[in-house]
Structure 1
Amino acid sequence: MDKTTMLLFSILFLFTFLTIALSKTICNQDDKDTLLKIKKSLNNPYHLASWDPQTDCCSWYCLECGDATVNHRITALTIFSGQISGQIPPEVGDLPYLQTLVFRKLSNLTGQIQPAIANLKYLRTLRLSWTNLTGPVPEFLSQLKNLQFLDLSFNDLSGSIPSSLSLLPNLLSLDLSRNKLTGPIPESFGSFKGQVPDLYLSHNQLSGSIPKSLGNLDFNRIDFSRNKLQGDASMFFGANKTTWSLDLSRNMFQFDLSKVETPKTLGILDLNHNGITRNIPVQWTETPLQFFNVSYNQLCGRIPNGGKLQTFDSYSYFHNKCLCGAPLDSCK
């Protein structure tokens, strides 16, 4: 083997060695230091045993690193169903390229939502659910202008819903269900800045009437069930809307059902346990319903024949004032 060939071989070997070495250690040191602080703050749980300072943090469990365009910074922190106790570490705000932050199904996670989260300007998904977080839904969440999915469900959050959440220009889904929230639905929710988000506010203690401005929006999914809301909710109906799922059950709504038209896209409609009056419109036979329940209201008249309405059993209709026809008893 001549000297030129040996030199080329040596250069190729060195290049290959460096490539492999670099590929094994791509974790940003600042991110690594921050993650180790987070681990310590959570009392070094076994769930994070892979967070070994001697290894590359991009290989650690519960994490994702971005590609070279973001210099392999940490872009996702997802801690799910582990024996984790304590509060959300403030150091999460020191992961500047984070796009996804999830703490979910952690029954021993307590305290309030960490203000340092407001530092995460690239955050798209924030999911803090099935924990024991307390305190309010914080106003500072409206600073997260890239946020698309906000899920704070299944917690012990209290107080009112911040009207500023409607300022999030990229929001696609807002889930505040199963908390202890009180007060009205904000008037500002009738004027979201971007696309109309899916809205889940069920199993709270919300009260008052729904702002009429919400009727100007075309929601795809709404769940306001199991609250103390009252008044007219007919603004959510309309033949020109494209709503797929509407759940207003177990509130105190009162409106004339005979005057509302269902969207041609409606697949799920639950109105049970309210004070809704009059009769079911014939137009509803044209609706592609997959789930339907109007029980425990004050409806009267014959259930229209046709479409999907006879495919549901009597449970979907019973305990009304004088509703009749299949699947209930025939009209006299």
Structure 2
Amino acid sequence: MQKPISLSCFLFFFFVYFIPRQSFSCPKDQREFLLEFKKLLTHNIKNHSTQIALGELKTWRPNSDCCKWKLVRCNTRSPSKEVTDLNLNGLVLSGSVCSTLLRPVLRVSSLMRLDVSSNFIQGEIPGDGFGNLTRLISLDMGGNSFNGTIRPELFSIKTLQHLDLSMNAIGGTLSCDIKELKNLEELFLDENLI
């Protein structure tokens, strides 16, 4: 009688402590970053005459799996289910939002594709977050109102293959540091002041 109980206890502790648990949800910190982005965006509506496509963000709720949210894709093959793709194109329908709104999104270090095009984003490109995006392959920031110059931090993304900064108000001269983007296949800078 003792053996079945001992074996049951052993198996229970073995599975609890030694078998890695799979995550069925995106990482908590990434969900928090995305919710912070949503909060900043919706706060912007209350203070300005900005209109956004709120329906696209209805699924973005606390205590829910961000891998199931609209506009978000995760790596389903990975046990950690990290966010790899954000398609935030055209969320802002009219008005304008400040470029600092992107800071929480730039903390999602597992991103491979980020599209924030056509959102009436104004201000300088927030370069301080791009150092985190070491896996980024595609970045689309076209069709906004970014100004200033192209931040040197963008040139540190060694994996970048597609970069679209077209239809903004970016000025200055194109830095020689662009040669650091060894994997770059497509670069769109038309309709700027470069």
TM value normalised by structure 2: 0.75
SS in 1 for 2:115: strand
> Share of identical aligned residues, percent?
28
Contact 1:64 1:77 in 2 (8 A): yes
Matched, 1:169 2:182: yes
Contact 1:41 1:89 in 2 (8 A): no
SS in 2 for 1:41: helix
Cα-Cα RMSD: 1.8
Paired residue type of 1:165:
I
Counterparts of 1:70 and 1:103, CA distance in 2: 27
Counterparts of 1:89 and 1:167, CA distance in 2: 24
| Residue number in structure 2 paired with 1:82 | 91
Paired residue type of 2:122:
T
Counterpart of 1:134 (choices 141, 147, 154) is: 147
**1:121–1:72: structure 2 CA closer, same or farther, 3 Å change rule?**
same
SS in 2 for 1:105: coil
Paired residue type of 1:65:
C
| Residue number in structure 1 paired with 2:29 | 30
SS in 2 for 1:171: coil
Counterparts of 1:26 and 1:94, CA distance in 2: 18
| Residue number in structure 2 paired with 1:60 | 69
Cα shift at 1:73: 0.2
Counterparts of 2:77 and 2:98, CA distance in 1: 34
| Residue number in structure 1 paired with 2:173 | 160
| Residue number in structure 1 paired with 2:115 | 102
Cα shift at 1:130: 0.4
Counterparts of 2:78 and 2:68, CA distance in 1: 18
Paired residue type of 2:169:
D
Matched, 1:72 2:72: no
Counterparts of 1:141 and 1:83, CA distance in 2: 24
Gapped runs of 5+ residues in structure 2?
1-21, 44-51
Cα shift at 1:70: 6.2
| Residue number in structure 1 paired with 2:60 | 51
Give the number of the structure whose alpha-carbon radius of gyration is greater.
1
Higher strand proportion, which one?
1
Counterparts of 1:133 and 1:42, CA distance in 2: 17
Give the paired residue count: 158
TM value normalised by structure 1: 0.45
Higher helix proportion, which one?
2
